[in-house]
A and B are shown apart, each in its own frame.
Chain A
Amino acid sequence: MRRDLLPTDAVAAGGTPEAADTGAGTSGAIGDDPGAGRQRLRFYQVGSFAVGNRLADPSQRTVQSDATRSNSLDSGHRACQGCGEALGARYALDAAMRAAGGQLVAVNATGCLEVFSTPYPETSWRIAWLHSLFANAPAVATGVAAAMRVKGRSDVRVVAQAGDGGTVDIGFGCLSGMFERNDDVLFICYDNEAYMNTGVQRSGATPSAARTATTEAIGPDPGAPFGQGKDLPRLAMAHGIPYVATATVADLHDLEDKIERATLMRGARYVHVLVPCPLGWGTASADTIAVARLATQTGLFPVYEAKNGSVTSVSKIRRVQPVEAYLGMQKRFAHLFGTPGRPDIVARIQAIADDSIARFGLLDSHAGEPAERGAR
């Protein structure tokens, strides 16, 4: 129904961008080929999984493989070693820059990404970028989009970005309004599952049982409580906006593809990117991508795409894994392991993963039933 409210001029002014898909419900069902929408490379030693490939046609390589990529977020930033958020932001914004032909404005909420990139007056940003407050990035971005419209700059695309705290908690009011008005903004949430910049406090995106500074690993229910928290991609879908997607730093081709598509669409778009935080999760800095990959291969973080409120494609699990493989490498879950450990809690988390696998149809029949997980 919100489709009627779509500003038709914005769609018409789109130029090359793919117009907002108004055919709600017509675009495929859950379980579409994970590669649907992006071209899958013929077998080239590393197929579609690595960043680039000397043998692949340049048009099929990622933005990141390009020696002339924009490096939107430059070297010298003060993110921790192995920061997933720094990586995810460069992945996303470089893809958006290419899609928008360099005509991009980014609005950033307060959070690590803003703090580590911009200790005034020094900055790591090589794009038009502004920061105002923790809570209001969606509203500021809406204003930027309106200003561009007034100036007749339909070529300029607007991105707003924030951490999970800035998105699911303090910024949620502004964001929900931005969705409801279907403002022409791409909002990217970099989800590291806690308020990292202020010292790892629990957010609405912190997973159950995780230890944070505010959910200590003590008592009968250690870590973050079960049954609380917010699944923002699904909340965004519930707004019926044209485009919602999830992605991780472990699948670059998928992430770039989604950002590119989202950048070119009009109206409110939301992309939720899982970005592991070595400090907050207690992982080795070298494992940032590995742990994100395990989040997807356990089913705990489903990777999918939704148009107008319906899921249109999911990334199938390639090598299904038990949740222990994922939890076990993170110190924030250390209290679940060892002797005696908390196998009951691990089992509850496994049940969450199994639910997510079933809900999104993450397993191909050949990838094995959850019972066979870990076989490969």
Chain B
Amino acid sequence: MERPFAITLDVGSSRANHTGSWRVERPVYLDYLPPCNDACPAGENTQRWLYLAESGSYEAAWRALVEDNPFPATMGRVCFHPCETACNRVKVDEAVGINAVERFLGDVALDKGWELPRPGSAADGPARPGTASGRRVLVVGAGPGGLSAAYHLARRGHQVVVADANAEAGGMMRYGIPAYRLPREVLAAEIDRLRPLGVELQLGHVVRDLAAERRDGAYDAVYLGVGAQLARRTDIPAGDSGRVLDALSLLRAAGDGSIELGRRVAVYGGGDTAMDVARTARRLGATDPVIVYRRTRDVMPAHDEELDGAIAEGITVRWLSTIDRFEGGKLVLERMTLGPDNKPVPTGELEELEADTLVLALGESADLSLVEGLDGVQVHDGSVLVDASMMTGAAGIFAGGDVIAGSRTVTDAIGHGKAAARGIDAVLGGEVRAPATRHELASFERLNTWYYDDAPRTIRPELDRIRRQSSFDEVFGSLDETNALFEARRCLSCGNCFECDNCYGVCPDNAVIKLDGAQLDGPPQRRYVVDYDFCKGCGICAAECPCGAIEMIPELI
């Protein structure tokens, strides 16, 4: 074509000039693993369900949550929320109230009667024709671990029988954790929701010989979730007037209202159970329960919020004290000091403490008599040994929760139940899927916190102190819809695009395309794609993405 002097180009748009060739690095959109998800022992995708809750899509949020954990209303009350400890927002102001939002979603679901996903619906489950696998699985123990295993197994199409010695399901959630922290109706309603999935609960059924039970019931696999039901005791010389109880029997009896404690109650131990016992004693009429603990606050195993709750209810703690003997309405204590490795060392100094009842909260151990003589099941230090798929040394027998070593919490047990269900499914011939590759962690350093507004954490309503000393009413209230929404929106969405449009806005080359609901192949697309014809690789989009969802990677030139 003839062109005027010194003109080398045709009339037209600069779009003919593909500046993408200048690039030495390219931006890519990635999903990172938010620290909250990473820390959740039940493997919840917290960031994902918070994202859904933020737009008020509570049912979608709840559905995302129950993919991993069938008991949000319960977990929203009793979980020690390691997610919040890990939350990146801690470094901005305070952690997102993940647990409070979880409880809100759980309560809304119960209120609206939302049902759990049906058999055959497991997201990472088997691709089987029909839903029923024809395989039978026995779950021993209807604690959180056993129920979680049952739920995930039922969703994979297996026939599940849950046997539990108790009259009601729930394990320690029902017989240990006091009602002022977990109202029994909430727990019962969440457990009831498992029944339509075909989970059969055999209550009052003690399993004494697992091998026989497995054979007689023609079970293809077993989940052992019997927890730790045996109270640990210690030898304390006690005269006839001293009444000594263990924590588990007291908590169990308090639930039935069948106990008289006396006015002066001493609790021996420093774990969460000791706190629960002292607070329960308070509610049963003890005037000033005292916790006796061998060491100091810094090394006490109880969670801070449990101890604070106890102190707020008028409970006192005798630090650095052991019990020498219990005689005639008084305890003789011995003062300790902390030696190396935080070990308590006796001082020989004695003092007295008036008490009618002494409750031992010294921990619990598992009664594993039902697997004695079962080939392959190995026990070490009172805990059953399992492999990565939660299988014991005996083929087809899996275990989790308090019977295995690790931190003993409801949340861990739920995670174990889920992992074991996956393991059992694989053994039963389900499709064996490689575990999803773990994404790289969305560390705080990835975030550009400039963009987040200042938003202090919402405080949960708390029952007043006077009522807390006499009733088993729940101590913490729920968030209402407005503040639950606000709390969800405090989430920084670490490492996962939340459609803030920053990358689309800040690109000097208009090289980010906003999909804005476009339908490429299938459902409407949110999010964005980079137009590599024009992207010069400046990196502004990655630098200004609030949540760090964009990474610059070198071009292979």
Binding site for B on A (CB under 8 A): 43-55, 61-62, 64-65, 67, 71, 73-79, 81-84, 86-87, 90, 117, 119-124, 252, 278, 284-290, 293, 319
Contacts and interface: CB of A to CB of B under 8 A. Distances in A.
A51 B489 contact: no
A372 to B, nearest CB: 17
A50 B451 contact: yes
A76 B14 contact: yes
Interface in B498-557: 498-502, 504-511, 514, 516, 526, 531, 533-534, 536-540, 542-544, 546, 552
B531 A75 contact: yes
A86 B509 contact: yes
A55 B516 contact: no
B22 interface: yes
Given A121-B12, A286-B540, A77 B509 contact: yes
A87 B516 CA distance: 21
A341 B324 CA distance: 70
A43 B453 contact: yes
A75 B501 contact: no
14 contacts: A43-B486, A45-B489, A45-B490, A49-B452, A50-B505, A54-B55, A64-B501, A64-B504, A75-B19, A76-B17, A82-B539, A87-B508, A121-B11, A286-B540
B91 to A, nearest CB: 12
Contacts of B16: 76, 122
Interface string B1-32: 00000010111111111110010000000000
A43 B450 CA distance: 14
Contact of A75 (B493, B499, B505, B509): B509
Residue among B7, B507, B534, B536 with the highest chain A CB neighbour number at 10 A: B536
Contact of A46 (B12, B451, B516): B451
Contacts of B502: 50-52
A286 B538 contact: yes
Given A45-B489, A51-B506, A75-B531, A123 B498 contact: no
A54 B499 contact: yes
Contacts of B13: 74, 76, 122-124
B500 A82 contact: no
A46 B538 contact: no
Given A55-B55, A285-B539, A82 B508 contact: yes
B455 interface: yes
B54 interface: yes
Interface of B: 7, 9-19, 22, 54-55, 450-453, 455, 486, 489-493, 498-502, 504-511, 514, 516, 526, 531, 533-534, 536-540, 542-544, 546, 552
A120 B543 CA distance: 34
Contacts of B11: 121-122
Residue among A46, A55, A75, A252 with the highest chain B CB neighbour number at 10 A: A75
Nearest to A72: B510
Residue among A81, A121, A123 with the highest chain B CB neighbour number at 10 A: A81
A86 B9 contact: no
A64 B510 CA distance: 10
Contacts of B505: 50-52, 62, 64-65, 252
A67 B525 CA distance: 13
Nearest to B27: A286
Given A52-B499, A64-B501, A286 B508 contact: no
B7 A81 contact: no
A82 B538 contact: yes
Contacts of A124: 13-14
Given A64-B504, A75-B19, A121-B9, A46 B452 contact: yes
Contact of B526 (A46, A54, A62): A54
B491 A45 contact: yes
A43 B19 CA distance: 38
A286 to B, nearest CB: 3
A122 B12 CA distance: 5
Contacts of B14: 74-78, 117, 122-124
A55 B489 contact: yes
B477 to A, nearest CB: 22
Contact of B501 (A65, A119, A121): A65
Contacts of A81: 22, 536-538
B501 A52 contact: yes
Nearest to B11: A121
Given A86-B508, A285-B540, A288-B538, A122 B19 contact: no
A253 to B, nearest CB: 10
A79 B543 contact: no
Contacts of B511: 75
B504 A45 contact: no
Given A49-B450, A62-B505, A286-B539, 10 more contacts: A55-B55, A65-B504, A75-B534, A79-B508, A84-B508, A119-B9, A121-B12, A123-B13, A286-B540, A289-B506
Given A50-B546, A52-B500, A124-B13, A90 B19 contact: no
Nearest 9 Cβ contacts at the A-B interface: A52-B501, A47-B453, A51-B505, A286-B539, A76-B14, A82-B538, A75-B534, A64-B505, A81-B538
Nearest to A77: B14
Nearest to A48: B453
Nearest to A284: B539
Nearest to B486: A43
Nearest to B3: A121
Residue among B19, B55, B493, B540 with the highest chain A CB neighbour number at 10 A: B540
Nearest to A285: B538
Nearest to A250: B450
Residue among A47, A49, A53, A76 with the highest chain B CB neighbour number at 10 A: A76
Given A286-B539, A287-B543, A289-B540, A45 B452 contact: yes
B23 to A, nearest CB: 8
A122 B489 contact: no
Nearest to A120: B7
Contacts of A319: 450
A45 B486 CA distance: 9
Residue among A284, A285, A319 with the highest chain B CB neighbour number at 10 A: A285
Nearest to A61: B501
Given A121-B9, A284-B539, A290-B543, A74 B501 contact: no
A286 B172 CA distance: 54
A40 to B, nearest CB: 10
Nearest to A126: B13
Contacts of A49: 450-453
Contacts of A78: 14, 17, 19
A90 B507 CA distance: 10
A256 to B, nearest CB: 10
